[in-house]
Amino acid sequence: MADILKIKNADKAFGGLKAISALSFNVHEGSITALIGPNGAGKTTVFNLISRLEKLDNGSILFQDTRINRLKPYMIPSLGIGRTFQNLRLFSNMNVIENVMVGRYTLSSSGFFTCAFNLRAYRVEEKEIREKALYWLEFMNIEDMAHKRIQEIPFEKQRIVEITRAVAGEPSLILLDEPAAGLNITETKTLIDTIYKIRELGITILVVEHDMDLIMEVSEKIVVLNFGRKIADGPPGQIQKDKNVVAVYLGKEFV
């Protein structure tokens, strides 16, 4: 199986604090890979480095064999990388379908002139974007909320809207940053079903999550971080038995 994402010897420091140190791991195309570790382990920093919201100090990040760690942040979605955030990043002044439409604009071809003068090409493309956004809302079973304001829908549905927006861009890779945060058991089960639906589309998933039941159920591979360093990398069964992983989660020294 080919690797869609390769992180090689990555370093990132904030002042004197080393957030990521000599980190290397690969994500197989079409897989669900989890990135786990205690609070402060550097998981979200890894997502921000992939998204180019943070600059890598050393090392490299390759997506589909293209080095991306020197690109501008706005270029990343166009390459085929979508993401969600630990803290929801939805547009509260828009309704649900408009939020999902935002995820489609990386695929649009209309330029400033076409949009500013409301030319026919822009109107046609805008109609297509709206229709495609509705398609993804239906795919995620939230089409009944299409015209509701973000503030009018429950928190767990807002989570699904953000994931839908990421999927709407038709990426090859999606980064899910703590998608189960704040969800109850029933809502988490719905989320698990959603993750499987996304993978069935052929989209590769890299997920950061603290819910170990979710991680152990959906992941084919788990990468474990502690203080910015990788301490384990392998399938769930292997990770569960890894003495260093157990030591970290029990607050003990490495064995």
Quote the percentage of the chain above a pLDDT of 90.
Answer: 69
How far is CA 212 from each of CA 222, 238, 249, rounded to the nearest angstrom? Answer: 11, 14, 11
Over residues 194-200, the mean pLDDT reads 94
Distance CA 152, CA 148 (A): 6
Helix axes 155-168, 120-139, angle to 10 degrees: 130
- Lowest average pLDDT, out of 43-57, 101-115, 183-197, 206-220, goes to 101-115
pLDDT at 207 over 90: yes
pLDDT at 173 over 90: yes
> What is the structure's pLDDT at 119?
53
pLDDT at 255 over 50: no
Phi/psi-derived region of residue 135, left when phi > 0, alpha when psi is between -120 and 50, beta in every other case: alpha
Pairing between strand 17-28 and 3-14?
Answer: antiparallel
Q: CB 237: neighbour CB atoms within 10 A?
A: 9
Quote the percentage of the chain above a pLDDT of 70.
Answer: 91
Using the Cα atoms of residue 39, residue 150, residue 92 and residue 197 in order, give the sign of their dihedral: positive
Q: Are 153 and 96 spatial neighbours (Cβ–Cβ below 8 Å)?
A: yes
Domains and CATH numbers, the chain: 1-80+171-255 (3.40.50.300), 89-170 (3.40.50.300)
> What is the structure's pLDDT at 113?
43
> What is the structure's pLDDT at 15?
87
Compute, in degrees rounded to 10, the torsion defined by CA atoms 231, 199, 163, 158.
Answer: -100
**Mean pLDDT rounded to a whole number for the chain:** 89
Helix runs in the chain, H state only:
43-51, 75-79, 96-102, 112-116, 120-139, 155-168, 185-200, 212-218, 236-241, 243-249
Closest CA to 224 of 56, 9, 42: 42
> What is the structure's pLDDT at 117?
44
pTM of structure: 0.89
pLDDT in tens, 105-160: 776 655 444 555 455 565 677 788 889 999 999 999 999 999 999 999 998 899 99
Of the pLDDT bands very low, low, confident and very high (cuts 50, 70, 90), residue 19 is very high
